[in-house]
Structure 1
Amino acid sequence: MDYPELAARTRRFSYGAPRAVTVTQDGARVVFLRSSGPEDPSDALWVYDVAARTERRLADPATLLQEDQTDLPPAERALRERLRLSAGGIGSFALDGAGVIAVFPLGGRLFRADLATGDVAELPTVGPVVDPRPDPTGRRIAYVTGGALHVIEPDGTDALLAGEDGVTWGMAEFIAAEEFHRFRGYWWSPDGHSILAARVDESRVPRWHLHDPSMPEQPPTTVAYPHAGSTNAKVTLHVLDLDGGWVDVHWDRETYPYLVAATWSESGGPLLTVLRRLQQHGLVIAVDPRTGETQVHAELADPRWVEPVPGTPAHLNDGRVLVGGELAHDGYDARCLFADGSLITPPNLYVRRVAGRFDGDLVVEASEGEPSEQHIFRIPVTHSSAQAQRLSTEPGWHLAQAAGRTLVIGSQTLEHNGWRYHIHHNDEVIGEISSLAADPPYAPRPALERVTDRRLPTGVLYPRGHVSGRRLPVLVSIYGGPGHQEVVAARARWQEKQWWADTGFAVVSIDNRGTPGVTPSFDKAIHRRFSDVILADQVDALQALADKHPDLDLERVAIRGWSFGGWLSALGVLRRPDVYHCAVVGAPVTDWSLYDTAYTERYLGLPADAPEVYAHNSLVELAAEPPVRPDDARPMLLVHGLVDDNVVAAHTLRLSAALLASGRPHSMIPLTGATHMAAGGLAEKLLRLELDFIRRAVG
């Protein structure tokens, strides 16, 4: 079976692989999701017992549902879209503080699993369930249904805790989930007697209407979409006691409207991170849950934008507050962790996430000089100087989860297929979470190197069996936007690119300035100048690679990308037709005033304040200009899902109209029923159509 078919059937070799790996607070168990095999899309709930060193399946969706119930509540479907989750079955779970109880939604129904006994029971609810969570004591379970927050008492009583017409309680708004990766909207108190809940009022947010023309009998779906320059949702926080008490949380919401993160642990009261609208200043604040009054613990500031570290803020065991930020003085250019203002990570680390605690120390994911690799570090918090012990050994990309004296390290490398999860306990490797995923049919071997005076990360992949001296057309496979890297030392990232290479291309990927992993100044060089910096880096790096790899034929260059990469692909052929000869443009943002507030304004400012910046980065305005010469009209293949609620299909439709008006050649594939993920094997089924288009365009 060829790669596109195999990749579609196995969801790019992810079915059967463990995911959502979580260590219980005492370190006694590791809980995770995994399907039964390489072609099974339905994830089940599994638990690994650290003492017994055995794993067992706790909850099988096929057994629990006993019938085909694949429909999800709209709120659950939206949450999975924000999480980029295409697997079926159990999408997520939540644990109590002792790590004995797990709860999860399935088909809109609520289930409770006892991790010790293996008993699983369905609990009655008043409506379809979204984001259920047990309280830390394991006695009660909260959940959201119909935009209202409910609590199930130990005797089974279902109580409405908060709900009102026209607003939602306990759910993250679109901006929080899509741009700040805050996917939840309520937090239990450590004693299980109250909940810190978000109230979201979207009444002033613009309404957009999404409709798939292939289903004219269906009414359009109306979504609240805060596009750049428009009104955001109004988000407030409240401490709700189960006995009916209510306390409003007070902070300057007019100045700091974005609630980016919230935590509530046994070590202290609630901690929040809030940001101004343009995200150049933020506060880490502590909440007194008795009064709702707040106290500022730290300020976050940057003339470009603030980038909080996931996993912060948090209380350390000694009461200090852990905050992520940047060190940008005395010659340093680093992304670090601070405890009450004191640096606790070495400035040579680019800290990406706090992954938990291991025997009192912090466990963090960070890069150390090489952005294509991510490693796991143990950070002591009792020493006066910043120290770090690297725990991952192989070159590659590593993730971690830690609690108690148990640490799980997940690894992808260029030497092995897929994710491998090793379980460490008391500084000893005691087991591995097995993967049931299929192995890809080949092992790609990209050449990774840094080029130009900016040391841009790049990768080049040749056809298997390539003979040096044979000139090859070039396919630039890119993303290029903030928050994502293409050049990663993990085999899975290069599987599809190897298929492209084997069809006769030298495949090139370049991480320009603006992508993470190098330094904060590298990340933020794109501020207010997306197109100029990013495209210049791409062109310069491609030329530098051709100097090192003489088999790259720069007279035949195609460029291909999705989402931000789709925008960059179109930008390349429109601005630099001398470099790029055709483009596959997938789900692009073509007019930044149509994209969401938090993302767009972070990088480009407010449309009313900087209309020239928006115009300069607009594909629609660029495409409307007729080509200077006929040869400059490079062909494009536009692809877009018609029910995409993130980058709406209007982006591609407006680009197509501008291209048509200026006489520029292009084709378009509308994906009926598809969202921004283009899930269900659609992306793989497109590969041959894209290949045919590129071959005809570059020869």
Structure 2
Amino acid sequence: MTSLLTAALSLSAQAAEISLERITSDPPLQGSLPQQAEISPGGAWVTYLRPSAQDSEQLELWAQPAAGGDPQMLASAAQLLGGQQQKLSEAEKMALERKRISQSGITSYRWCGEGDQALVFPLSGDLYLLRLGQPAQRLTHDPDQPKQDPVCSPDGHSIAYVKAGKVWVQPLDGGGEARVLTPDAAGAVSYGLAEFIAAEELGRQRGFWWSPDGKRLLVLRVDESGVPLKTRAQIFADHTAMTEQRYPSAGEANAKVTALSIDIASGAQTPLLLPAEAEYIARAGWFADGTPWLQWLRRDQTLLALTEFDPRTATPRLLIEERDAAWVETHDDMVELKGLQLSGKPALLWSSERSGRKQLIAVDRKTGARHTLSKQEEPVAHLVCAGPEHIVFAGAQDRGRARELFVMDMKGKTQRLDGAAPQQWRDASGDKACTRVLVTRSAWGEPPRLELRDIAGKAPALALPGSAPDPLLAQITPQPQVLDIKAADGTTPLNAFYLPPLDGKPGPHATLVLAYGGPHASTVNWAWPRETALMAHWQRLGFGIMMVDTRGMANRDRAFTRAHHRAFGKVEVADLFAATRQLPKLVPDVDAQRIGFWGWSYGGFLAARAMLDADTPFASAAGVAPPTDWTLYDTAYTERYLGLPDGGKAETYRQANLPSRAALLSKPLLLIHGTADDNVLFDNSLQLIQALQDEGKAFELMIYPGKAHGIAGRKARLHLYRTLDGFFTRTLKP
């Protein structure tokens, strides 16, 4: 039956054509999915951002009754700005880049207070308050000083936000003017915002938190005066803008981040002091009893700790330590379990890899004693929500190729959430009481869709609207062939898919290999692949496609994910080469002499590294935004895997350095980079370019003026895909 289905899908795919113009045009081929969906605090509404019907790159704010009913648009940039151009400061652009948001319009929002009546959002430098059923109210009128990260107090009567590097508090009931809560932000000092490392590498996008009673704020002070100032040349077609950015490269000084508890009424500040070894503040917040806490990391990231502070004296007390000889992963899994009392206090939910794969445990807040809760055969992905009687979490299935949702009681008894099925990818966020969850579900050939589910299963699932996929999508998506691939060690199974060429021509075909190779990601799974339509296009050009996840990537056990420890450019390269050499033995029509490679970011590093090797199995490769010299990349990411660079002399950095391998290039290589990339700085490609030129090596280059790491925009993406088409057609032709 499976072979007949595959044959039928392949014939269907052959009959339908797909162009690059359609792939990059509006409306999106895969349809649209509501973004940043939330259940309102009172549970009556589901709100989300939705692309405009007129322009999918403009986001609008929408709401839908949780009990069912028609969705309604609450606000749009076009409506509020009256046709004026939206303004974004460089700091706001960088913040959106950290969140991987490439669209404009209303790009974030928050419910205000504990009720279902009001929301706040920033737009074009100012703040807006929207009470349901009323037009949005403009709260501020100085757009030249952008307001960032607005958050209402728990009672909804005040709002705090960051302006000009300072935290401001403003009444919402007409009872006074906005006032500054923190000292003047002088030079490289700011308050209330996440520094670059926290936002880019640690997953913390915020810099202040309200206390449960709304009387205090926990605020982070960031001093970047010791962080080297890097100048980025944002090269556009008609001008060059020099942008200065505090960017800590590996081995350099990080921002000094300290925590303060600030009384709202008096402005009195109480420092929350951590040990000298606390290099990074990864998370922060308040316990329900009004005790502030900080989750912090040592610089080598082999220690992750949770410290609480006495609300009256600010005396610190260490609650939890997590240690790992390689590194400890940060997480958002720490919450209080009201339904599980230990030593007279709510237990703390925590995640740990001590068992060899990530699991959820309960920790006694008083004694630190640990109690195992989850006993999954594969790693837990993350906590979704926790209620009085149960916990909802996402976890890996099918050797990391699938993700499912699970409901667990306080004794560890676990069952799948309704809607479970093989070969799918489900994730979710929950409401405050953890009675309902917003489930995002996708599968191979099925773009993500969002629905509201009742955890108890007492109400039918409510589908949330998004624009439907183009019917063409179902015609061009073939079923992948699961490959039995072994890692370079000869024993570890690697996840790999193969898609056959669909040009209708007999005989050996060229193949494109797609891989990322880096930590914290996986691409070979049953989730909707973002590049499905592009891969379908390449199949019609006569390319077979192999997708492979090397050791070191995500969703597997600890032994698998720690393969990058002190070893960039080694284990994943060996696995990539081994998988590529196994492919012709598993798929007879693969021409072993015509295999190309394409990767982005870490995958771009892997592409360039694969070609700078005398033993490469690839005929050509294209690398987009590649890190080439890891001493240029940021501290937290690079040092986590490679350690400190020791002035560039460390062996871990030397063996991963690409410019030093330039003399080994003997086959076609295409380098692609945006000149305004503030993540993998353009300097990375410049160094490799110079090294290749110094060695007299011919290579191809495509730069995108003014584009950041994602090379966003429909026209830029169309040009990028055409460039890749031309390169691989030339270099892999018969």
TM over 0.5: yes
Matched AA of 1:642:
T
Structure-2 separation of matches of 1:298 and 1:149? 30
| Residue 176 (str. 1) matches residue 198 (str. 2) | yes
Contact 1:321 1:339 (C-alpha < 8 Å) held by counterparts: yes
For residue 354 of structure 2, what is the aligned residue in structure 1? 327
Contact 1:22 1:31 (C-alpha < 8 Å) held by counterparts: yes
Which string of whole-angstrom CA distances, capped at 9 and with x for unpartnered residues, describes residues 534-581 of structure 1? 011111122333322112221111111111011000111112554011
Structure-1 separation of matches of 2:27 and 2:686? 28
Bigger drift between 69-78 and 146-155 goes to: 69-78
For residue 155 of structure 2, what is the aligned residue in structure 1? 137
Question: What displacement does 1:425 show?
Answer: 6.3
Q: 1:605 to 1:234 in 2, by over 3 A?
A: same
Question: What displacement does 1:662 show?
Answer: 1.5
| Residue 102 (str. 1) matches residue 119 (str. 2) | yes
Structure-2 separation of matches of 1:237 and 1:308? 19
1:571-650 equivalence runs, <5 A = 571-608=609-646, 611-623=650-662, 626-627=663-664, 633-650=666-683
Matched AA of 1:282:
L
Give secondary structure in 1 for the equivalent of 2:446: coil
Question: What displacement does 1:88 show?
Answer: 1.5
Give secondary structure in 1 for the equivalent of 2:291: strand
Structure-1 separation of matches of 2:100 and 2:478? 25
Structure-2 separation of matches of 1:552 and 1:38? 43
Structure-2 separation of matches of 1:248 and 1:471? 71
Which string of whole-angstrom CA distances, capped at 9 and with x for unpartnered residues, describes residues 267-320 of structure 1? 6533321000010112112233333222211101000000133x2222221411
Q: Indicate which of 589, 592, 598 corresponds to 1:554.
A: 592
Q: Indicate which of 408, 419, 422 corresponds to 2:438.
A: 408
Q: Indicate which of 416, 440, 454 corresponds to 1:424.
A: 454
For residue 367 of structure 1, what is the aligned residue in structure 2? 396
For residue 480 of structure 2, what is the aligned residue in structure 1? 446
Question: What displacement does 1:643 show?
Answer: 0.9
For residue 3 of structure 2, what is the aligned residue in structure 1? none
Structure-1 separation of matches of 2:468 and 2:682? 33
Give secondary structure in 1 for the equivalent of 2:562: helix
Structure-2 separation of matches of 1:42 and 1:150? 29
Contact 2:608 2:658 (C-alpha < 8 Å) held by counterparts: yes
Q: 1:588 to 1:497 in 2, by over 3 A?
A: same
Contact 1:392 1:398 (C-alpha < 8 Å) held by counterparts: no
Q: 1:360 to 1:7 in 2, by over 3 A?
A: farther
Q: 1:345 to 1:576 in 2, by over 3 A?
A: farther
Bigger drift between 389-398 and 649-658 goes to: 389-398
For residue 522 of structure 2, what is the aligned residue in structure 1? 485
Q: Indicate which of 206, 211, 228 corresponds to 2:250.
A: 228
TM-score, with normalisation over the residues of structure 2?
0.89
Contact 1:207 1:223 (C-alpha < 8 Å) held by counterparts: yes
1:447-462 equivalence runs, <5 A = 447-452=481-486, 453-462=491-500
Matched AA of 1:635:
P
Q: Indicate which of 555, 565, 568 corresponds to 1:530.
A: 568
Question: What displacement does 1:17 show?
Answer: 2.0
For residue 435 of structure 1, what is the aligned residue in structure 2? 466
For residue 161 of structure 1, what is the aligned residue in structure 2? 181
Matched AA of 1:327:
R
For residue 23 of structure 2, what is the aligned residue in structure 1? 7
Give secondary structure in 1 for the equivalent of 2:115: coil
Question: What displacement does 1:386 show?
Answer: 5.4
Contact 2:619 2:667 (C-alpha < 8 Å) held by counterparts: yes
Contact 1:326 1:336 (C-alpha < 8 Å) held by counterparts: yes
Structure-1 separation of matches of 2:461 and 2:526? 26
Q: Indicate which of 335, 344, 349 corresponds to 2:373.
A: 344
Question: What displacement does 1:16 show?
Answer: 3.6
Matched AA of 1:498:
A
Give secondary structure in 2 for the equivalent of 1:374: strand
Question: What displacement does 1:445 show?
Answer: 2.2
Give secondary structure in 2 for the equivalent of 1:172: coil
Structure-2 separation of matches of 1:31 and 1:63? 18
Give secondary structure in 1 for the equivalent of 2:612: helix
Question: What displacement does 1:446 show?
Answer: 2.0
Structure-1 separation of matches of 2:456 and 2:75? 29
For residue 53 of structure 2, what is the aligned residue in structure 1? 37
Q: 1:541 to 1:565 in 2, by over 3 A?
A: same
Q: 1:156 to 1:122 in 2, by over 3 A?
A: farther
Q: 1:88 to 1:269 in 2, by over 3 A?
A: same
For residue 509 of structure 2, what is the aligned residue in structure 1? 472
Unaligned segments of structure 2, at least 5 residues? 1-16, 364-369
Contact 1:16 1:38 (C-alpha < 8 Å) held by counterparts: no
| Residue 128 (str. 1) matches residue 146 (str. 2) | yes
Matched AA of 1:322:
L
Matched AA of 1:208:
K
Q: 1:99 to 1:519 in 2, by over 3 A?
A: farther
Structure-2 separation of matches of 1:212 and 1:46? 35
Bigger drift between 651-660 and 481-490 goes to: 481-490
Q: 1:28 to 1:567 in 2, by over 3 A?
A: same
Give secondary structure in 2 for the equivalent of 1:688: helix
Q: 1:185 to 1:295 in 2, by over 3 A?
A: same
Bigger drift between 284-293 and 340-349 goes to: 284-293
For residue 376 of structure 1, what is the aligned residue in structure 2? 405
Matched AA of 2:56:
D
Contact 1:58 1:118 (C-alpha < 8 Å) held by counterparts: no
| Residue 250 (str. 1) matches residue 272 (str. 2) | yes
Matched AA of 1:186:
F
For residue 149 of structure 1, what is the aligned residue in structure 2? 167
Unaligned segments of structure 1, at least 5 residues? none
Contact 1:364 1:376 (C-alpha < 8 Å) held by counterparts: yes
Which string of whole-angstrom CA distances, capped at 9 and with x for unpartnered residues, describes residues 603-659 of structure 1? 000001861110100101111xx34xxxx6111111111111111111101101111
Contact 1:408 1:424 (C-alpha < 8 Å) held by counterparts: no
Which string of whole-angstrom CA distances, capped at 9 and with x for unpartnered residues, describes residues 201-259 of structure 1? 00010010011344675541100000000000000011111112434343434201111
Structure-1 separation of matches of 2:680 and 2:232? 11
For residue 673 of structure 1, what is the aligned residue in structure 2? 706
For residue 729 of structure 2, what is the aligned residue in structure 1? 695
Q: 1:465 to 1:27 in 2, by over 3 A?
A: farther
Structure-2 separation of matches of 1:348 and 1:261? 28
Matched AA of 2:460:
V
Structure-1 separation of matches of 2:57 and 2:31? 6
Contact 2:234 2:243 (C-alpha < 8 Å) held by counterparts: no
Give secondary structure in 2 for the equivalent of 1:543: helix
Structure-1 separation of matches of 2:578 and 2:701? 30
1:252-401 equivalence runs, <5 A = 252-266=274-288, 269-309=291-331, 311-317=332-338, 318=341, 319-328=346-355, 333-340=356-363, 341-357=370-386, 360-381=389-410, 383=411, 385=412, 387-394=414-421, 395-401=423-429
Matched AA of 1:446:
P
Matched AA of 2:361:
F
Question: What displacement does 1:426 show?
Answer: 4.6
Question: What displacement does 1:7 show?
Answer: 3.0
Matched AA of 1:152:
Q
Q: 1:363 to 1:13 in 2, by over 3 A?
A: farther
Structure-1 separation of matches of 2:659 and 2:270? 45
Contact 1:15 1:37 (C-alpha < 8 Å) held by counterparts: no
Structure-2 separation of matches of 1:338 and 1:125? 48
Contact 1:97 1:135 (C-alpha < 8 Å) held by counterparts: no
Contact 1:263 1:314 (C-alpha < 8 Å) held by counterparts: no
Question: What displacement does 1:266 show?
Answer: 3.1
Matched AA of 2:426:
H
Which string of whole-angstrom CA distances, capped at 9 and with x for unpartnered residues, describes residues 352-389 of structure 1? 221223564222121134312111111222x2x45343
Matched AA of 1:168:
S
Question: What displacement does 1:504 show?
Answer: 1.2
